[in-house]
């Protein structure tokens, strides 16, 4: 290995341990074991060395800083030769020096700082895994707002899906602003109950108001503002309250497992059109396929043997070991982890709980635009090119499959029109308004339960809006400005340290919000600039990868990627301004944005401080309402 990428013998943790000799006999033995770097902490020794500490054992060693940097690229499970080839391809100084790289990696392995795929398999699926215990009951929630036709279609499909009696309770959470739509939804529930083996509870404006009033009365020591911030419809009457109904669903299912459904889905499960064997353990994005119409979807897909409600409940709340067994895998093989990311796997063991389940989408993607097609993974990009009408049709026709080809364990919360949540554990509330509430909720859940997992099933749910949405015309290249992911700030501050209680973590999350609410203008602007820089870096890396993936894209597509990359790289050199924030309303000045941000984070932090008490009170009130022991009851 080049001098810049060699160990410093003066700082080896065990100087008596020699480096592997480069001999013919050594070269003849090829280690086919899959390895990835362990969960390590790096300490700069201020003397030209970096101390690597394994967080889960007493293993350690001292290396040159360049070696420490190179190990960042070794978090994917590969053979030692595979790692050496990858490093030689990505670090110019190492080109043609694979054998030297392998010797260094062997030393890192021998010091216990590389994790083998076999050890991970044993950790996730031990031979003596505990059998699945009885799980909490499931409660199903339909979230709707001013779409009575969609509600009627969904309820009809639920009657045909069957198995409704398996769920303890069914709810329709109605956030409709138009009273006529609310009346139609209430009548649809009444009609549904005439045929359903399990009655559905209608929870409209009046029912929500009574429930909130009961909470406020039951918690005199808790500030009323915290409850109203989370679930008061009047407070958010002039805003799109996407998260409010979901928080209400959580409060109506404390101690249970909750399955939430958007109103414009159909209660059916469809197999992945590109199903693969095995399991996945990574954070890869969902794959995509393209269709010309709903009829084309019907012709080219196959119904799954399970309804989505039963399907979501099957693994929700299990441990990872139990879920792997439930998915039909008695054992895990090392080959199942090829290409998996150790950053996830280092955080999991057999007892890691599956707190969230997600499914794919078939039909409308649920996104406002379709410009995300330009930066799809190579497999999906090739499908777009081979689809009828090519790129132009793919952008215009909102008929897609978006999902996973095999069951996948990850930590990535995505937009899922049907979502399962294990609410028997302390989960956070949703932020009541604005888009991205699902991503923010996922980040907060990870903050509270850093050893937990999210499971994506290898089937999808039909999502066909009653009023079809139009695709977007070809867009201008990305400017690389004003786009941030607020949930990433929470993820970046998640403490992956064992032994900390979820209650302590919830207090810490509330404290983080309070600190943000008290930060100065300049401090918030600096945080914004840091988040913009990280987003730009990730986008630049993604665009570069797409330009180098070998796909022969049309000139229009290639030009979009090239111009976007140039714009992003230029934007990285300029000062990020809040005026460029893409989600800001028109005619909204910087000071208003900063003041509103502080106000919202302050109120949300107060709600988080009170959240455990609010949940406990909600459980008591809900149980009384559902058993008829309260004068306040659902229709």
Q: Decide if 132 contacts 351 (C-beta within 8 A).
A: no
Residue 442 above 70 pLDDT? yes
Q: Decide if 136 contacts 427 (C-beta within 8 A).
A: no
Among the ranges given (19-23, 113-117, 356-360), the one the predictor scored with the smallest mean pLDDT: 19-23
Same domain, 86 and 166: no
Span 185-197, average pLDDT: 97
At 129 the pLDDT is 63
| Inside any domain, residue 453 | no
The 3-state DSSP class for residue 79 equals: coil
Instruction: Say what percent of the chain tops pLDDT 70.
Output: 92
Same domain, 173 and 236: yes
| Inside any domain, residue 80 | yes
> What confidence tens digit (pLDDT) does each residue in 408-425 have?
999 988 878 999 999 999
The residues, any chain, with a CB within 8 Å of residue 499's CB and separated by 6 or more, are none
Same domain, 51 and 162: no
Beta strands 138-144; 257-262: pairing state: parallel
Same domain, 248 and 149: yes
Q: Decide if 556 contacts 391 (C-beta within 8 A).
A: yes
Confidence of residue 175 (pLDDT cuts 50, 70, 90): very high
At 586 the pLDDT is 67
Domain ends where: 241, 264, 287?
A: 264
Distance, CA of 432 to CA of 417 (rounded, Å): 18
Q: What is the CATH number of the domain that holds 260?
A: 3.40.50
Same domain, 21 and 92: yes
Residues in the chain: 635
Same domain, 99 and 8: yes
| Inside any domain, residue 189 | yes
Confidence of residue 336 (pLDDT cuts 50, 70, 90): confident
Confidence of residue 145 (pLDDT cuts 50, 70, 90): very high
Same domain, 108 and 62: yes
Residue 27 above 60 pLDDT? no
Residue 14 above 70 pLDDT? no
> What confidence tens digit (pLDDT) does each residue in 468-498 have?
777 665 578 888 887 777 788 999 999 998 8
At 30 the pLDDT is 65
Looking at the DSSP bridge assignments, the partners of residue 420 are 259, 357
Same domain, 111 and 147: no
Domain ends where: 229, 264, 299?
A: 264
| Inside any domain, residue 148 | yes
> What confidence tens digit (pLDDT) does each residue in 536-581 have?
999 999 999 999 999 999 999 999 999 999 999 999 999 988 888 7
Domain ends where: 73, 91, 124?
A: 124
At 28 the pLDDT is 44
Report the sign of the C-alpha dihedral through residues 301, 306, 312, 315, in that order.
Answer: negative
Longest Cα pair distance anywhere in the chain, in angstroms?
A: 85
Among the ranges given (28-37, 155-164, 273-282, 322-331), the one the predictor scored with the smallest mean pLDDT: 28-37
At 470 the pLDDT is 74
Q: Which domain holds residue 99?
A: 3-124
Looking at the DSSP bridge assignments, the partners of residue 171 are 141, 201
| Inside any domain, residue 560 | no
Structure tokens at 472: 């977007």
| Inside any domain, residue 349 | no
Among the ranges given (249-258, 478-487, 522-531), the one the predictor scored with the smallest mean pLDDT: 478-487
**Domains in the chain, number:** 2
Distance, CA of 286 to CA of 454 (rounded, Å): 14
Cβ density class 213-235: b for 16+ within 10 Å, e for less: ebbbeebeebeeebbbbbbbbeb
Same domain, 187 and 113: no
Q: Which of 22-26, 380-384, 411-415 has the highest mean pLDDT?
A: 380-384
| Inside any domain, residue 37 | yes
Residue 100 above 70 pLDDT? yes
Confidence of residue 16 (pLDDT cuts 50, 70, 90): very low
Same domain, 20 and 56: yes
Same domain, 186 and 90: no
Confidence of residue 8 (pLDDT cuts 50, 70, 90): very low
- Mean model confidence pLDDT for the chain: 89
- Angle made by CA atoms 132, 251, 233, in degrees to the nearest 5: 150
For residue 403, the tally of other CB atoms under 10 A from its CB is 29
Nearest to residue 427, comparing CAs of 201, 246, 626? 246
Confidence of residue 24 (pLDDT cuts 50, 70, 90): very low
Residue 94 above 90 pLDDT? no
Same domain, 144 and 110: no
| Inside any domain, residue 101 | yes
Confidence of residue 141 (pLDDT cuts 50, 70, 90): very high
Q: What is the CATH number of the domain that holds 8?
A: 3.90.930
Strands, DSSP E only, in 185-224? 200-203
Confidence of residue 368 (pLDDT cuts 50, 70, 90): confident
Beta strands 287-290; 400-403: pairing state: antiparallel
């Amino acid at each position: 290995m080049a001098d810049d990428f060699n160990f410093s013998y003066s700082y080896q943790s065990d100087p008596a341990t020699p480096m592997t000799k480069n001999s013919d006999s050594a070269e003849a033995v090829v280690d086919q074991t899959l390895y990835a770097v362990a969960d390590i902490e790096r300490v700069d020794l201020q003397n030209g060395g970096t101390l690597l500490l394994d967080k889960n054992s007493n293993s350690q060693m001292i290396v040159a800083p360049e070696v420490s940097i190179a190990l960042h690229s070794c978090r994917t499970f590969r053979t030692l030769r595979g790692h050496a080839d990858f490093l030689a391809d990505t670090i110019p100084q190492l080109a043609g020096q694979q054998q030297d790289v392998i010797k260094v990696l062997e030393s890192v392995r021998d010091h216990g700082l590389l994790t083998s795929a076999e050890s991970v398999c044993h950790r996730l699926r031990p031979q003596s895994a505990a059998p699945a215990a009885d799980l909490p009951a499931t409660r199903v929630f339909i979230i709707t707002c001013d779409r009575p036709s969609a509600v009627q279609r969904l309820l009809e499909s639920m009657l045909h899906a069957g198995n409704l009696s398996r769920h303890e309770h069914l709810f329709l959470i109605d956030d409709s602003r138009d009273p006529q739509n609310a009346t139609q939804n209430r009548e649809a529930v009444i009609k549904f109950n005439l045929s359903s083996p399990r009655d559905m509870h209608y929870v409209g404006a009046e029912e929500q108001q009574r429930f909130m009033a009961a909470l406020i009365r039951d918690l005199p020591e808790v500030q009323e503002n915290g409850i109203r911030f989370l679930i008061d419809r009047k407070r958010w009457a002039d805003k799109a309250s996407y998260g409010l109904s979901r928080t209400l669903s959580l409060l109506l299912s404390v101690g249970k497992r909750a399955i939430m459904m958007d109103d414009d889905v159909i209660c059916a499960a469809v197999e992945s059109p590109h199903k693969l064997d095995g399991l996945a353990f990574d954070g890869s994005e969902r794959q995509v396929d393209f269709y010309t119409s709903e009829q084309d979807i019907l012709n080219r897909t196959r119904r799954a043997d399970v309804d989505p409600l039963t399907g979501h409940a099957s693994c929700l709340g299990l441990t990872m070991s139990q879920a792997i067994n439930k998915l039909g895998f008695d054992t895990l093989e090392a080959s199942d982890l090829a290409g998996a990311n150790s950053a996830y796997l280092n955080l999991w063991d057999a007892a890691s709980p599956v707190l969230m389940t997600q499914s794919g989408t078939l039909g409308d993607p649920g996104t406002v635009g379709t410009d995300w097609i330009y930066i799809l993974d190579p497999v999906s990009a090739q499908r777009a090119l081979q689809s009828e009408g090519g790129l132009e049709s793919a952008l215009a026709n909102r008929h897609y499959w978006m999902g996973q080809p095999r069951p996948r364990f990850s930590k990535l919360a995505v937009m899922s029109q049907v979502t399962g949540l294990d609410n028997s554990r302390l989960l956070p509330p949703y932020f009541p308004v604005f888009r991205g509430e699902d991503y923010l909720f996922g980040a907060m859940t990870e903050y509270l339960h850093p050893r937990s997992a999210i499971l994506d099933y290898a089937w999808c749910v039909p999502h066909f809006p009653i009023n079809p949405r139009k695709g977007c015309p070809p867009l201008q290249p990305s400017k690389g400005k004003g786009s941030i992911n607020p949930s990433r700030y929470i993820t970046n501050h998640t403490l992956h340290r064992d032994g900390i209680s979820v209650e302590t973590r919830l207090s810490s999350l509330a404290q983080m919000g309070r600190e943000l609410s008290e930060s100065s203008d300049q401090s918030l602007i600096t945080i914004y600039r840091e988040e913009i820089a990280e987003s730009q870096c990730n986008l630049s890396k993604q665009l570069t990868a797409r330009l180098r993936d070998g796909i022969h894209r049309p000139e229009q597509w290639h030009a979009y990627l090239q111009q976007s990359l140039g714009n992003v790289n230029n934007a990285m050199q300029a000062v990020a301004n809040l005026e460029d924030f893409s989600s800001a309303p028109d005619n909204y000045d910087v000071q208003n944005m900063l003041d509103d941000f502080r106000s919202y984070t302050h109120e949300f932090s107060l709600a988080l401080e009170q959240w455990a008490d609010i949940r406990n009170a909600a459980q008591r009130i809900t149980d009384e309402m559902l058993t008829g022991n309260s004068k306040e009851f659902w229709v």
